[in-house]
Structure 1
Amino acid sequence: MERGATFPFVAGSAYLPPVTELLEKALQAVRQLPADSQDEIARAMLALIGNVGEPEEIDPGHLPAVLEGLAQANLRQFSFDAEVEAAFRRFER
């Protein structure tokens, strides 16, 4: 390797870039969770940074509502803020 070249970052190696103390604390906590919970958190993190990866599976019972929502979005039919607020208020009771 030529002088001044950087080492590739390989998982499990000592050459990983540093992370913040808070992120390291969060990762330590996540490591204690079951694998399915770790995967759920990983998907959320990737979605937050725009690297979603594989799409989530849709419960077959929810598929008609999802397809209806997508069709409405394609037609630019969106709910008004007041309608959304009213829907969330139903869950507060």
Structure 2
Amino acid sequence: MVDILDRAVEALRRMPAADRESLAQAILTVADKETSLDIDPEHLPAVLEGLAQIERGAYVEGEPEDLVAAAFRRRVP
């Protein structure tokens, strides 16, 4: 069985360079913290879906800030 870290790194390698840089920086930021990051149970389905999309290679093109803003606009009542 392939280690999840190996799968994540391989998924990163398939991404466009700009996206790789953003995610790599986010990973380093989280790794430098000494506290764990808990996922709010309410957000867990969206996180799991995002991971499934990465696994399938389903990526969305665009600037990260615009994509995040659009995602929140769709989810906020």
TM exceeds 0.5? no
Which structure has the highest helix share of the two?
A: 2
Q: TM-score, normalized by length of structure 1?
A: 0.34
**Highest RCO, 1 vs 2 (Cα 8 Å, sep ≥ 6):** 2
Q: Which of structures 1 and 2 has the bigger CA Rg?
A: 1
